[in-house]
Amino acid sequence: MEHPAPSKSRSFPPDRIIDAAHFHRRKVGEIEVIILTQESAGLLTFYLDGQPVAKVIQGEAIRIYLSPGRYRFGIIPSSHVVLSSLWETNADVAKNAPRFYRIFHSGGRNSGWGASFEIAPVKNAQLQ
């Protein structure tokens, strides 16, 4: 599977930002984290520590800025037509940790909880 580089992803429309707090670097030391939407059947909502941040579609990249630490990233279809649960994963944000994450369709195979979409870290080498 090819992993699109952030430069090949579509720019993110500001009208789908729910909480803009992390979309701009506010402090020295914050780390840029890029979340790529590789597969989507429609609008998905990205969560940070249990709070909705933005709605994304396939091919888009979210760039957020976080202080080093542990976070919870989550993803769920925005439409309640699709029966799916929120998929969450721990994200350790540090200078030596992965800074790229991908959203992909899993059909619930990996989660065991019925999540249709998942989010996981991607090594930088896979993006080239």
d(CA 91, CA 79): 25
Report the CATH number of the 6-127 domain. 2.60.40
Residue with tokens 């909705």: 52
In tens, the pLDDT along 49-107 reads: 999 999 998 888 899 999 999 999 998 887 655 556 778 889 999 887 768 998 887 76
d(CA 54, CA 52): 6
Work out whether the CA dihedral 10, 13, 18, 22 comes out positive or negative: positive
Quick: pLDDT tens for 9-62.
556 788 999 999 999 999 988 999 999 988 666 788 999 999 999 999 888 889
Domain ranges of the chain: 6-127
Closest among 119, 98, 99, 115 to 107, alpha carbons compared: 115
